[in-house]
Structure 1
């Protein structure tokens, strides 16, 4: 279990470092009082090296971690970018470490999994952002565990968090997508703090007839009476988070893998391509809602941009996904050639996805190159990255002269999680 949690902490820290200079991060940090104009930004923000309250440190770090949409995936959302910043803030403020920190992450993750398992509809389709909604409650549970709150206060923390849980698909492609994730980390941590101070909440705020699950899902669409059937450790080991290879919406990753493979295998040039056909789920298509992106934030949620960038550059890393590629005439010329087709099949492990995606590329000579079925994206728990690939991602998230910063981040994580 510790290895899974360590990978989550390493990957999230890498994403926080990569996103620290993004406009949404700098503006949220300035609001939080972490920087003033002209000052350097000390990110990841630390609750033990400044006057920054733990909840504000969690807000800034989670916003940074989600700013590039590069953070890990699982449970129809991004679990670690909410849980890790909240727990790092508690570690730095209170000295919580070792198994207590590992266990707290696993408990928060299990709470998230339990909430998701009770939904019989997909939150994305109802306009809710699961990371911001379930992440708030999961962070409250994780922080309450880390701080050793008694069961009654844990229940109150979860109830308080339920009243703070919110986030909208409508804000995908804007700064607020990252902000609502930052707010989830902050609200979850604050819920645990408030419960510890004696603030109470209703015990049916989650699963009551007028509680969070019923409100999110709509009448009859949540299993309110179901029993909890699995322990937190087995939940984490059974449904491990996946590490993202590309700094774009995860809904596009399967197709991106297929396009990159076809380009490499057949040595395709952008000028060869006359059509790209991608078969995906309706939910995935709804999330990838920006068909003619005007900003890089929108481009991360544009299948057209992702496919075109992959075809032009043959890669889809931080160097390729940038303002230059968004303005590149070669990328723009390819975007109208991408067509989406919907399949009604469902993946039992990731219900918002199709059972498998598929992509075909048609070239000027009439040849159709077929990816075949794409069951999982690279980096998914079924196709995990190894330790070397995880380190490579960390190095890619910092500038060439910042290797010492990356090493220090690794050392801090290992010290925090050490037994």
Structure 2
């Protein structure tokens, strides 16, 4: 029987044109557009500037590909890395498969498009192949990676980006097999670094490792045949609680995972674990006249995993606030929004925000969600007033922007425009139009 790496390589080098129906094309198109907006939103962040300084010192400037909204051109790898760090800097990028697939896959493919003219069906196919490999590996790991301290975007993103890049560069089956095995040795990234500058670096490093794996394999470097499913391989290393599924064949003929698990677009620039609760708080605020001073407690009920991820009870920086349930609830109540414009140091130290944060409690719903493994089946919000009035959100199944509760096209366009400066509106719309040209022929 072929090893898992070889089965995946068979898929990555295959023709999947027949599975790229208009609905799939549209899903990938939205992922590219949303990621472009997120790249624009993070390009001036300190972590992006620091990363740019580092790569400029480390790598030669061969001008193969562009950095968004910048005159800079770099090698395809460096451009992709910079755009990925920028896209993940504000935690505004899409969510699926327990992580952030598009902020890893899209920068790679945009850079390859600049480098070689990749577009249309080839561009979409490469994205889907990276997405499919990511999904398959995730489904083989029984315990949520977050609970063990692993950041799936870094761990699975390294393999997914490798698959997408192999497809984009049309590596043969043998070299693609070795590239996947090489990438398996590079996968890493810690949840402990959430709320710091290190988290967006995970996306950039996943891309660096993917390029290294693909280019080394193309030069003739080899990896163990069972690097993924072997008893001492990738799946075993990341499944120390329960045994991973190392035996199931990779079913390349099944429907693409993206048909059932689509990327969800973030409406709020904070950790997705808090989005359902934010929707609930905003709904209660809209439906009720809630004087802030009358609030006794705010109880957010979420999964145990999400409660652990949202680890900052008393955030002191905007990065920490993105992983703080108390801040998310307080911002929604005080400002009536959770937005890029309300994530400054002044917003976090606002006395009204600090007072409300002390009143937020988190409880656990242990019923799991089959579609989003790290989530509970439902989240809930209860606001208790000092007169003992209880305001209940009721069960919140999906956040606004989830694939089952999508943003309207105008809402996505507004999100992208909110990520840019007013003077850049015209050039941003031109960028959106340029990205759309990659998909027009496929959508007809």
1:44 aligns with 2:68: yes
CA positional deviation for 1:156: 1.2
Partner in structure 1 of residue 326 of structure 2: 304
CA positional deviation for 1:45: 7.1
For the structure 1 residues 280 and 92, does the alpha-carbon distance in structure 2 shift closer, same or farther, using more than 3 Å as the test?
A: same
CA positional deviation for 1:152: 1.1
1:390 aligns with 2:422: no
Aligned residue runs from structure 1 range 162-181, under 5 A: 162-181=184-203
Equivalents in 1 of 2:382, 2:221: separation in Å?
A: 56
Q: 1:15 aligns with which of 38, 46, 50?
A: 38
Partner in structure 2 of residue 183 of structure 1: 205
Partner in structure 2 of residue 2 of structure 1: 25
Equivalents in 1 of 2:40, 2:109: separation in Å?
A: 17
1:323 aligns with 2:345: yes
| 3-state SS in 1 of match to 2:135 | helix
CA positional deviation for 1:130: 0.4
1:286 aligns with 2:308: yes
Equivalents in 2 of 1:207, 1:399: separation in Å?
A: 47
CA positional deviation for 1:233: 5.8
1:128 aligns with 2:150: yes
CA positional deviation for 1:300: 0.4
Partner in structure 1 of residue 7 of structure 2: none
Equivalents in 2 of 1:405, 1:185: separation in Å?
A: 27
Which string of whole-angstrom CA distances, capped at 9 and with x for unpartnered residues, describes residues 53-105 of structure 1?
11111111110000100000000100000000111111111211110000000
| 3-state SS in 2 of match to 1:319 | helix
CA positional deviation for 1:196: 1.7
Root-mean-square deviation over aligned CA pairs: 1.7
User: Paired residues, what number?
Assistant: 411
Partner in structure 2 of residue 379 of structure 1: 401
Q: Give the gaps of 5 or more residues in structure 1.
A: 36-41
Aligned residue runs from structure 1 range 172-211, under 5 A: 172-211=194-233
Residues 220-229 or 278-287, more deviating = 220-229
Q: Kindly indicate whether the alpha-carbon contact (under 8 Å) linking 1:74 and 1:242 is maintained by their aligned counterparts in 2.
A: yes
Partner in structure 2 of residue 154 of structure 1: 176
CA positional deviation for 1:237: 1.6
Which string of whole-angstrom CA distances, capped at 9 and with x for unpartnered residues, describes residues 241-261 of structure 1?
000000000000011110010
Q: Give the gaps of 5 or more residues in structure 2.
A: 1-23, 59-65
| 3-state SS in 2 of match to 1:217 | coil
CA positional deviation for 1:34: 8.6
Q: 1:81 aligns with which of 103, 114, 124?
A: 103
Equivalents in 1 of 2:94, 2:171: separation in Å?
A: 28
Partner in structure 2 of residue 57 of structure 1: 79
Q: Kindly indicate whether the alpha-carbon contact (under 8 Å) linking 2:161 and 2:206 is maintained by their aligned counterparts in 1.
A: yes
| 3-state SS in 1 of match to 2:285 | helix
Equivalents in 2 of 1:371, 1:288: separation in Å?
A: 20
Q: Kindly indicate whether the alpha-carbon contact (under 8 Å) linking 1:274 and 1:364 is maintained by their aligned counterparts in 2.
A: yes
Partner in structure 2 of residue 353 of structure 1: 375
CA positional deviation for 1:7: 0.3
Residues 313-322 or 348-357, more deviating = 313-322
CA positional deviation for 1:219: 6.2
Q: Kindly indicate whether the alpha-carbon contact (under 8 Å) linking 1:10 and 1:413 is maintained by their aligned counterparts in 2.
A: yes
Which string of whole-angstrom CA distances, capped at 9 and with x for unpartnered residues, describes residues 243-286 of structure 1?
00000000000111100100111032322211101111110011
Equivalents in 2 of 1:353, 1:59: separation in Å?
A: 29
For the structure 1 residues 273 and 340, does the alpha-carbon distance in structure 2 shift closer, same or farther, using more than 3 Å as the test?
A: same
Equivalents in 1 of 2:253, 2:162: separation in Å?
A: 18
TM-score, scaled relative to structure 2: 0.89
CA positional deviation for 1:51: 5.0
TM-score, scaled relative to structure 1: 0.95
For the structure 1 residues 213 and 359, does the alpha-carbon distance in structure 2 shift closer, same or farther, using more than 3 Å as the test?
A: same
Q: Kindly indicate whether the alpha-carbon contact (under 8 Å) linking 1:17 and 1:43 is maintained by their aligned counterparts in 2.
A: no
Q: Kindly indicate whether the alpha-carbon contact (under 8 Å) linking 2:154 and 2:203 is maintained by their aligned counterparts in 1.
A: yes
